[in-house]
């Protein structure tokens, strides 16, 4: 199954944002947005797409909150806003929520694609693989 362009690791429109430097961890390693979002249990590409749909101010606010939740950074919580402002400038701009068409014609009203409906199949497949691995390991 081919991946959609926005989620491709080859040439994602979100690469500049996802691979941007958030800050140094206390261990001295550099933390990227991709790693930070993944650590918080968020889908990095989904979050990047969501933020790019927001107004710049709303995206900065949402990202400030997200950065403030990161554990183990070598930055102060008060630095979260300036980090978010810098990172939001790396996002491709698609518009703002206030620019959505009225009367139920927004993205949230569209029917899910077949790709979205395939997740139960992948979950079942992963469960079968895990059960097989555990049963082989037990022998």
Distance, in Å, from the CA atom of 37 to the CA atom of 18, rounded to the nearest integer, reads: 9
Q: Is the pLDDT of residue 41 over 50?
A: yes
Q: How much is the pLDDT for 88? A: 92
| Structural domain containing residue 42 | 5-112
Residue 67 is assigned to a structural domain of this protein:
yes
Residue 121 is assigned to a structural domain of this protein:
no
- The rounded percent of the chain whose pLDDT value lies above 90 is 26
Residue 14 is assigned to a structural domain of this protein:
yes
Residue 126 is assigned to a structural domain of this protein:
no
Distance, in Å, from the CA atom of 83 to the CA atom of 60, rounded to the nearest integer, reads: 9
DSSP one-letter code for 108: G
Domain count, the chain: 1
Q: How much is the pLDDT for 25? A: 81
Residue 65 is assigned to a structural domain of this protein:
yes
Residue 85 is assigned to a structural domain of this protein:
yes
Distance, in Å, from the CA atom of 29 to the CA atom of 72, rounded to the nearest integer, reads: 11
């Amino acid at each position: 199954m081919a991946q959609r362009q926005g989620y491709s690791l080859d040439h994602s429109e979100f690469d500049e944002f996802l691979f941007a430097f958030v800050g140094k961890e206390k261990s001295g390693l550099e933390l990227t947005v991709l790693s930070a979002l993944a650590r918080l249990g968020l889908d990095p590409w989904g979050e990047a797409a969501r933020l790019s749909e927001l107004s710049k101010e709303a995206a900065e606010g949402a990202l400030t909150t997200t950065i403030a939740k990161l554990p183990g950074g070598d930055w102060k919580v008060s630095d979260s806003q300036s980090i978010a402002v810098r990172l939001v400038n790396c996002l491709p701009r698609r518009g703002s929520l206030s620019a959505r068409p009225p009367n139920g014609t927004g993205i949230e009203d569209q029917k899910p694609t077949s790709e979205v409906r395939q997740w139960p199949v992948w979950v079942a497949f992963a469960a079968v693989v895990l059960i097989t691995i555990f049963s082989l390991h037990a022998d």
